[in-house]
Amino acid sequence: MKIKVINRSQHSLPEYQTALSAGLDLRANLEEPVTLGSLERKLIGTGLFIELPEGYEAQIRPRSGLAFKYGLTVLNSPGTVDADYRGEIKVLLVNLSTQAFTVENGERIAQMVIAKHEQIEWLPSESLTDTERGAGGYGSTGKK
């Protein structure tokens, strides 16, 4: 599937890193490195603008390596890019570690998954179909 893109970044277009990757790694597009102190959050630009077809969204997700090694994650994960959004794709990073982390220009900071979604119509009702689970949740089935 082809997606229209404007690349105003200093970097090449995001790529799938392996043959069957779901996510395209997004690179920070920075004039200078950005440091996130412990528990600090910052919006990082990618310089990318896309036009998704109707019925598709782009999800902005953390990279597990950065999360595991540095406590760096996407605060609003998964970020949602709507099909009618025409602004720059940005990544809201948060540093959940005790150490500062510096993001360098061009660093792969997050990944973007393009996904199909539905838009629904409400069917207002007085009751819902019975199920075995009923209202049980939040650990109702136990641990083991």
For the annotated binding site for substrate, the residues are: 63-65, 76, 80-82
Q: Does 102 bind ligand DUT (CB under 6 A)?
A: no
Of 23 and 79, nearer to ligand DUT (C-beta) is 79
Q: Does 76 bind ligand DUT (CB under 6 A)?
A: yes
Residue 132's alpha-carbon distances to 66, 116, 125, 139, 140, in angstroms, are 40, 30, 20, 15, 12
Q: How far apart are CA 112 and CA 126, in angstroms?
A: 39
* Segment contacting ligand DUT by CB under 6 A, of 14-22, 73-81, 111-119, 120-128: 73-81
Query: Which residue, among 43, 24, 47, 29, has the nearest Cα to 115 in the 3D structure?
Result: 24
Structure tokens at 126: 């007085």
Q: Does 24 bind ligand DUT (CB under 6 A)?
A: no
Minimal distance, residue 108 CB to ligand DUT, in Å: 16
Residue 136's alpha-carbon distances to 27, 132, 142, in angstroms, are 42, 9, 11
Q: Does 89 bind ligand DUT (CB under 6 A)?
A: yes
Q: Does 56 bind ligand DUT (CB under 6 A)?
A: no
